[in-house]
């Protein structure tokens, strides 16, 4: 059962948010619509026994309610002017002046803590940041992101769909993906040129399809989708162990990579790991 919103975000003047001119180099579009803000917080439903990281808090649209309802909140903000204002307005919240792509997230809390992540992610960093966070999936309880509609479509796509690709495979290997609700451009200032959507990523308690060699699995997926219009047979040629695997004829190598699901990629990766040549012994 989702919690109800308690209290109101602190007021900073104007529309109740920090006054700050958006900076194009940070791709800043600030969330200002109160209905949308409340709906997001209700979806997250933070609790006093939980630890949260908010990436890109901006003018603090969500921060007041998150700080009130969560046990501990850490903000990651790249804009130094906003950092100063957030520190003043939220003296009990830890604020990191940092690039979200460089933060060591597992060091923010104690080693046994599973934390939650919230973020309104600019398009230019959304994919690399998601890949960075996947490396910490075992420590994440879940993540709620505001992303462009097309990115959410890629995260939640299925084999055979145009949006299905490397991003969807890798995220779905680690997480369940749940698109939530759309957010119109009118909810932001300045108004972006695209529609946004809230998505929830829930890491699996136990991987349904574990790869025996994760690095090899990553390489297979990356290689396959760089040749997505080729058949699986052609896409495999540069992979170690592919010659032996093709000789086994254990898979349908006439299909294209875009028609394979996560379980298929893991099965092929595990077969390649079994069949790849052993490195020569050092003398």
pTM: 0.86
Contacts (Cβ under 8 Å, ≥6 apart) of 257 = 224, 225, 227, 228, 230, 232, 235
Q: Which domains does the chain have, with CATH numbers?
A: 24-203 (3.40.50.150), 214-275 (1.10.8.100)
Strands 188-189 and 196-203: unpaired
Burial of 27-40, coded b for 16+ CB within 10 Å and e otherwise, reads: ebbbbbbeebbbbb
Q: Are 185 and 195 in contact (CB under 8 A)?
A: yes
Tell me the pLDDT of the chain (283 aa) as tens digits. 333 333 333 333 334 444 545 444 445 577 889 999 999 999 999 999 999 999 999 889 999 999 999 999 999 999 888 999 999 999 999 999 999 999 999 999 999 999 999 998 877 889 999 999 998 999 999 999 999 999 999 999 999 999 999 999 999 999 999 999 999 989 887 787 888 999 999 999 999 999 999 999 999 999 999 988 889 998 888 888 888 898 887 889 999 999 999 999 999 999 999 988 766 555 5
């Amino acid at each position: 059962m989702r919690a109800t919103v308690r209290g109101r975000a602190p007021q900073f003047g104007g529309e109740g948010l920090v006054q700050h001119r958006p900076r194009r180099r940070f791709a800043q579009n600030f969330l200002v619509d109160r209905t949308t803000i409340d709906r997001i917080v209700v979806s997250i439903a933070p609790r006093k026994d939980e630890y949260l990281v908010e990436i890109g808090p901006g003018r603090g649209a969500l921060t007041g309610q998150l700080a009130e309802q969560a046990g501990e909140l850490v903000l990651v903000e790249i804009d130094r002017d906003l950092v100063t204002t957030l520190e003043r307005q939220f003296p009990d919240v830890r604020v990191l002046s940092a690039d979200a792509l460089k933060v060591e997230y597992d060091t923010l809390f104690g080693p046994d803590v599973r934390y939650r992540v919230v973020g309104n992610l600019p398009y230019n960093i959304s994919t690399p940041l998601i890949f960075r966070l996947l490396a910490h999936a075992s420590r994440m309880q879940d993540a709620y992101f505001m992303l462009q509609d097309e990115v959410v479509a890629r995260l939640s796509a299925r084999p055979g769909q145009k949006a299905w690709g490397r991003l969807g495979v890798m995220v779905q290997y680690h997480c369940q993906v749940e698109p939530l609700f759309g957010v119109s451009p009118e909810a932001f200032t300045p108004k972006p040129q695209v529609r946004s959507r809230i998505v929830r990523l829930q890491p699996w308690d136990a991987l349904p399809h574990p790869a025996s060699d994760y690095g090899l699995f990553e390489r297979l997926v990356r290689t396959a989708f760089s040749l997505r219009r080729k058949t699986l047979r052609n896409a495999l040629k540069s992979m170690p162990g592919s010659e032996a695997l093709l000789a086994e004829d254990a898979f349908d190598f006439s299909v294209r990579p875009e028609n394979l699901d996560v379980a298929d990629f893991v099965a092929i990766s595990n077969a390649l790991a079994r069949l790849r040549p052993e490195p020569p012994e050092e003398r």
